[in-house]
């Protein structure tokens, strides 16, 4: 006899186990939409079912089955919850007709669950919860499993479920690309495992560390502006992972804090590894022997980085046309890459790249046509020489500054051909106004503007425009001019010794202009600007 008390106990055990695994399952969630809520949805759906069971007064098995079916339908949360509810409904339909459960009934119930799940989904996709429930049903249907006592049969079903989950990446590309197993399938197995352990009375296995499945490799794919990859373990009592995370967050990026209240593993990219360790020591014991600090910058010399960049560009999918740009300053190079440059060569005013290096870049990109943005008058000639040397069709758009290059690059579209791109990029900078603020290295009079050594000199479209000991005075002069000319959008790239971005933004906005202020990192020029 399947009675209400037993069903409540088993459902509660299933819920307890999915609660333990919620975070891990959320972290796995990439399919169908990577919104990290599969664990939560399964938990909420199960919570709803348990709550309905608490209210139920069913005295017969068919009544109980009807209550469970209704609860499952009504409480389904999210995609995974809906599929879970159809599985539960299918199983309850079979179990409601039986007086007792043996291996035969288990097989029949799982098959009914799997069938109803497949029917509920318009286009069944393999490598998901569907695959896992189907394989669990297939396991139960094996002749040698059918004849086992139901607890032993269920143990086989859970083992097969684990196996099916581990094979989901073979069936679904999205999972393989993300390097994870299916979240819904993993959650489903945990629900069944909860039931199994309630029946056997055995303790549940530990929750696997989230980092194992997230893979640190995937984190290292992101480029970091920080220098030290820092990994350590904190042991203690009542560790609050969220608060640990919040305290570590300001120190860097690629932060991962995993574990539980007694042991936490921390991974962070930071410039202050000692600061990160101190935060760990404030809440628990950090075993010095297990601290790993890697210097990510020393890991690749400049030449190695350049070769890596060439290699990456060569491996990129082929396009009709690729973009090669030249810039000084880490921020500027990132900005150019973010708007589509396949290769950004280090260089500018004081450090001109060689024709050979430009040629290397042009040769490496996986395209027959190349557009080069020299972004400095002193680099233009080298770019043109490289264009002549190359066997590829190379067009040089003679951008004279980095903001001009960025505006041109923004018009670049790798999906269209070289002629359309060249035309669109030239059009984008046709009417662009460029401002540069540089510190005078000696007393000088340029274009009838006199600047003393150490003073700020503002250039407008290549001609000296204003000079003053106060940077704000020359910036205001430039911005007033932009406003008077009816410009609307100002891009400002902050270089070494630049003032704070907020103050620059405020001055741009004061004049009714729209600001886009970014860290460029170029030497010698505290500010580079363009106005459209």
Partner 1 sequence: MQLTRANTAIVLDSTSDLVDARERHANMRLVPLYVLFDGESLRDHVDISPAVFYERLAAARNLPTTSQPTPGDFLACYEELAGAGFERIWSLHLTSKLSGTFESARRAAAELGGDRVRVVDTETVSLVVAMLAEAIDRRLETGTTDEEIDELVQRFKRVNRVVFTVATLEFLQKGGRIGKAQALAGSLLNVKPILTIEDGVVVPLGRVRGRQKALAEFARLFAEGTEDGEGLHLAIAHANAPEWVDVLTDMARKVRPQATLDLVEPLGAVVGTHTGPGAVGFFWFQD
**Footprint on residues 471-510 left by partner 1 (CB under 8 A):** 488-489, 491
Structure tokens at 320: 């009709």
Number of residues that bind partner 1 (CB under 8 A): 35
40 versus 349: smaller Cβ distance to partner 1: 40
Half-sphere exposure (Cβ direction) of 282: Cα atoms closer than 13 Å: 11
* Closest approach of partner 1 to the CB of residue 33, in Å: 3
DSSP letter (8 states) at residue 50: H
* Binding mask of the shown chain, residues 77 to 106, with x at each position contacting partner 1 by CB under 8 A: xxx--x------------------------
- Smallest gap from Cβ 14 to partner 1, in A, equals 19
Least distance in angstroms from the C-beta of 360 to partner 1? 25
CB of 287: closest distance to partner 1 in angstroms?
Answer: 28
Q: Which residues of 353-367 are buried (b: 16+ CB within 10 A; e: fewer)?
A: bebebbbbbbbbbeb
Q: What is the 3-state secondary structure (H, E, C) of 210-222?
A: HHHHHCHHHHHCC
| Piece of the chain touching partner 1 by CB under 8 A; list 76-84, 213-221, 230-238, 283-291 | 76-84
* Torsion of the alpha carbons at 501, 503, 508 and 509, rounded to the nearest 10: 110
What phi and psi values does residue 352 have, to the nearest 5 degrees? -80, 135
Among 147, 177, 246, 506, binds partner 1 (CB under 8 A): 246
Stretch that binds partner 1, among 58-66, 70-78, 219-227, 232-240 (CB under 8 A): 70-78
Name the burial class of residue 53, with classes exposed (0-12), middle (13-18) and buried (19+) by CB atoms within 10 angstroms of its CB: buried
Q: Treating both helix axes as pointing N-terminal to C-terminal, what angle do 103-120 and 129-141 enclose, rounded to 10 degrees?
A: 150
Single residue of 129, 402, 406, 408 touching partner 1 by CB under 8 A: 406
Q: Which helix (H) or strand (E) holds 139?
A: helix 129-141
Site for partner 1 (CB under 8 A): which residue of 339, 446, 449, 483? Answer: 339
The closest of 276, 299, 301, 271 to 286, measured between CA atoms, is 276
41/128 with CB nearer partner 1: 41
What single DSSP character describes residue 30? -
Decide if residue 312 touches partner 1 (CB under 8 A): no
Using CB under 8 A as the binding rule, whether residue 335 contacts partner 1 is answered as yes
Please state the length of the chain: 532
Contact call for residues 128 and 30 (beta carbons, < 8 A): no
292 binds partner 1 (CB under 8 A): no
Would you give the binding string for partner 1 spanning residues 38-57, x where CB under 8 A is met? --xx--x---x---------
**16 lines the binding site for partner 1 (CB under 8 A):** no
Q: Which residues contact partner 1 (rule: CB under 8 A)? A: 32-37, 40-41, 44, 48, 73-79, 82, 242, 246, 334-335, 338-339, 406-407, 410, 488-489, 491, 514-516, 518, 532
């Amino acid at each position: 006899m399947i009675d209400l008390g037993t069903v409540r106990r088993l459902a509660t055990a299933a819920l307890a186990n999915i609660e333990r695994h919620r975070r891990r399952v959320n972290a796995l969630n990439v399919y169908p939409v990577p919104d990290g809520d599969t664990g939560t949805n399964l938990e909420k759906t199960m919570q709803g079912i348990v709550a309905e069971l608490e209210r139920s007064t069913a005295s017969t098995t068919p009544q109980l089955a009807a209550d469970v079916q209704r609860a499952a339908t009504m409480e389904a949360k999210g995609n995974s919850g809906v599929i879970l509810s159809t599985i539960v409904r299918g199983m309850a339909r079979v179990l409601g007709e039986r007086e007792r459960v043996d291996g035969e009934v288990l097989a029949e119930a799982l098959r009914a669950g799997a069938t109803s799940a497949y029917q509920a989904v318009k286009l069944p996709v393999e490598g998901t919860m569907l695959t896992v429930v189907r394989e669990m049903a297939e396991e139960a249907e094996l002749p040698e499993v059918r004849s086992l006592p139901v607890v032993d049969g269920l143990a086989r079903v859970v083992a097969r479920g684990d196996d099916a989950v581990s094979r989901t990446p073979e069936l679904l590309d999205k999972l393989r690309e993300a390097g994870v197993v299916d979240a819904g399938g993993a959650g489903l197995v945990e629900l069944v495992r909860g039931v199994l352990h309630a029946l056997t009375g055995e303790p549940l296995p530990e929750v696997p560390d989230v980092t194992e499945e997230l893979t640190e490799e995937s984190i290292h794919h992101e480029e970091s502006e920080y220098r030290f990859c820092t990994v350590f373990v904190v042991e203690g009592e009542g560790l609050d992972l969220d608060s640990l995370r919040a305290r570590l967050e300001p120190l860097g990026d690629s932060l991962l804090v995993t574990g539980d209240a007694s042991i936490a593993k921390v991974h962070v990219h930071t410039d202050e590894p000692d600061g990160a360790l101190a935060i760990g020591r404030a809440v628990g014991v950090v075993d010095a022997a297990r601290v790993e600090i890697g210097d990510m910058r020393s890991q690749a010399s400049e030449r190695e980085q350049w070769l890596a960049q060439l290699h990456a560009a060569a491996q990129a999918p082929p396009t009709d046309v690729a973009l090669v740009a030249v810039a000084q300053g880490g921020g500027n190079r990132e900005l150019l890459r973010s708007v589509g440059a396949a290769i950004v060569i280090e260089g500018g005013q004081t450090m001109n790249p060689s024709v050979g290096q430009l040629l290397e870049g042009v040769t490496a990109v996986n395209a027959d046509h190349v557009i080069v943005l020299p972004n400095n008058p002193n680099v233009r000639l080298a770019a043109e020489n490289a264009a002549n040397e190359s066997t590829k069709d190379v067009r040089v758009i003679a951008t004279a500054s980095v903001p001009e290059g960025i505006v041109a690059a923004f018009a670049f579209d790798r999906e269209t051909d070289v002629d359309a791109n060249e035309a669109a990029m030239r059009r984008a900078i046709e009417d662009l106004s460029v401002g540069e603020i540089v510190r005078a290295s000696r007393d000088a009079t340029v274009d009838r503007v006199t600047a003393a050594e150490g003073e700020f000199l503002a250039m407008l479209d290549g001609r000296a425009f204003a000079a003053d000991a106060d940077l704000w005075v020359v910036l205001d002069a430039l911005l007033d001019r932009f406003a008077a000319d009816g410009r609307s959008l100002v891009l400002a790239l902050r270089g070494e010794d630049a003032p704070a971005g907020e103050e620059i933004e405020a001055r741009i906005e004061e004049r009714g202009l729209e600001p886009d202020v970014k860290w460029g990192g170029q030497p010698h020029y505290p500010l580079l600007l363009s106005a459209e």
